[in-house]
Every structure is written in C-alpha cells, then in structure tokens.
C-alpha cells in the first residue's frame, strides 16, 4: 500500500509545535479514534484505537527524532500490528513564525487512517491555535 501525505500550517513557532507533538499522551485530544496513548519509555509508546467499532492495541517504536525537525515511528511486530501505520512528521519554520507540519503515513486498515489524516491535521491545528476548542472529541 502506498504512503499518504498531508500538510498544514499552524500559527505557532516551530518549538511550540514540536513540543506539543512530543506530548503523545495528548493525541486523543485531536485524533478521536485514539482512546488511550501511553508513553512506555523514551523510544516506545502504546495505543488503543477504535476503528470500525473494534478496539485494537499496538506498540510503536520511535525510529528517528530530530528536535524541531522530524519524528519517525513504526508499529512493532505483534498481534494486530498489520492494522497500524508507520510514518514521519516533519516541521518547517515559516517566515511569519508559523510552522508547516507535513505528515506522511503508510496506512493500515485499508487506508482508513490516511483518509482521516487531513481531519487529524486540521484538529491538531485547532488544538494548537485555540486550546480547549476540541474538548468535545473525548
């Protein structure tokens, strides 16, 4: 399956955007399918996602982390790992102190995640620019 890519410009400095993306425990605030996210250690985190009425669990490994530039991850082998994604998010500072966020994913669930990717990016933008607006997602 091919990779999907999306981007969005967030009206916030790159340092703020990158630090927020590092707070993986906040992902359910802008990705409604995520029900639980837990940081396991510096390089691993687990998730529980609800898609098509079913809950799935996975553990991910952070493969690359370049502060304020890029984060790459992949699902580790195991039960249900074929349903999840690997990907990379890149951050580029803009002249007006905003940040371009580029998300590239290799989708699972027959592309369901990639179809929702643009919605997740819009939610992330709202979350960053208007704290508290997305509370209804939880």
The model's pLDDT over 57-116, given as tens digits with 9 standing for 90+, comes to 889 999 999 999 999 999 886 555 555 678 899 999 999 999 999 999 886 655 566 678
User: What is residue 96's DSSP assignment?
Assistant: T
Handedness of CA 23, 25, 29, 33 (dihedral sign): positive
Tell me the pLDDT of the chain averaged across its residues.
85
pTM: 0.85
Q: Which helix (H) or strand (E) element contains residue 45?
A: strand 44-51
Asked if 92 and 102 touch (Cβ cutoff 8 Å), the reply is yes
Among 8, 1, 83, which Cα is nearest to 48's?
A: 83
pLDDT of residue 96: 96
* Beta-strand pair 54-66/34-41: unpaired
Phi, psi of 29 (to 5 degrees): -70, -25
* Joined tokens for residue 84: 């999840």
Domain ranges of the chain: 4-23+62-132
d(CA 52, CA 65): 31
**Contact assessment for residue 29 and residue 37, using Cβ atoms and an 8 Å cutoff:** no
pLDDT band at 131 (very low <50, low <70, confident <90, very high): confident
Count how many residues are written for the chain: 138
Please determine, looking at this structure, whether the domain spanning 4-23+62-132 carries the CATH number 3.30.530.20.
yes
Residue 76's nearest CA partner among 94, 51, 59 is 59
């Amino acid at each position: 399956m091919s990779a999907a890519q999306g981007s969005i410009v967030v009206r916030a400095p790159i340092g703020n955007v990158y630090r927020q993306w590092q707070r993986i425990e906040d992902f359910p605030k802008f990705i409604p399918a995520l029900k639980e996210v837990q940081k396991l250690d510096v390089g691993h985190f687990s998730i529980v996602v609800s898609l098509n009425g079913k809950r799935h669990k996975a553990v991910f490994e952070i493969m690359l982390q370049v502060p304020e530039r890029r984060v790459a991850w992949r699902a580790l082998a195991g039960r249900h790992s074929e349903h999840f994604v690997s990907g990379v998010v890149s951050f580029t500072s803009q002249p007006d102190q905003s940040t371009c966020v580029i998300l590239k994913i290799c989708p699972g669930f027959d592309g369901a995640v990639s179809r929702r990717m643009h919605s997740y990016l819009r939610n992330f933008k709202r979350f960053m620019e208007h704290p508290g607006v997305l509370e209804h997602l939880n």
